[in-house]
Amino acid sequence: MGNCLIKKLKVSIDNENLPIFGEVVIKVLAGTNFFSMKAKGNSNCIVTGESGVSFSSYGGSAYTNPFQLTSELQGYNVICQSNGKKVTITDKYNLAPLISSNYAHFGLVGVMEIVGGLTALTLPSNTNSVEIKLSTFIYTFEDIKKWCKNINLKKVNFEGCPNLSGEISTLNSFSDLENIGLSYCTKVTGNIDSLELPKISNIALASSSVGGTIEGLIAKQRAAGKTTGSISGNSAGWGNVTFDGTTTHAKGTVTWTATTITMDGVTINA
């Protein structure tokens, strides 16, 4: 048997800034922001807002501050008097997915920062819809890949997040994606031709920096075995994406057959 030395040290660390195991701190924007969260069970998962923060149900009924996150709670409003107010969740390991429009859904609106970064959150494995909307939070598609590792994503919505950056082709990591929301994400780049997502049915790219061609996107769909189909998009336009050599008709829904592509009333052989 090997030797073993056990020594008990009489030491304490007096530092209030050290992270607490399992705790998540989120800084949010001023105004009313909707959070979608619930607990796996009625355990001791507490949500607390610092001074200047209050909570209510989606319908407007006030919650106490702090309040207990339960398995029945489907979402709540976080009302902040000024930017950067902190909301603390005591037990990230007790977060459960929400059922929303047939998706297991996790959502944050108006996030400025998640202290510790995206990896500070642990999403349940059966979450398949993620939204971070109208947010100044700085993050990348590579962060999302790490955050959503082992998650079967079907929907991502990052509408109005000016600090989300990265190459749109990174989303090919999530082969079951059906819905992509990147409108007003001006730092998202790349070409739509690079998407290899055979289940995609909606892409929102208005005022993004994504380019490429509709013809290239449909070529990838056909290569995946979809000789006919449709993909809906912003009626105002698909950002910098072109159709038939121009952005003029790259708007609304695109439909295709084995030999033709139709968009905005224009049909081409392609």
pTM: 0.76
Closest residue by Cα to residue 156 from 182, 184, 180 = 180
Confidence bin at 33 (pLDDT 50/70/90): confident
Please give the pLDDT value at position 139: 86
User: pLDDT digit string (tens) for 175-224?
Assistant: 999 999 999 999 999 999 999 999 999 999 998 999 999 999 999 999 99
Q: CA–CA distance from 164 to each of 5, 13, 126, 143, 160 (Å)?
A: 50, 36, 24, 10, 9
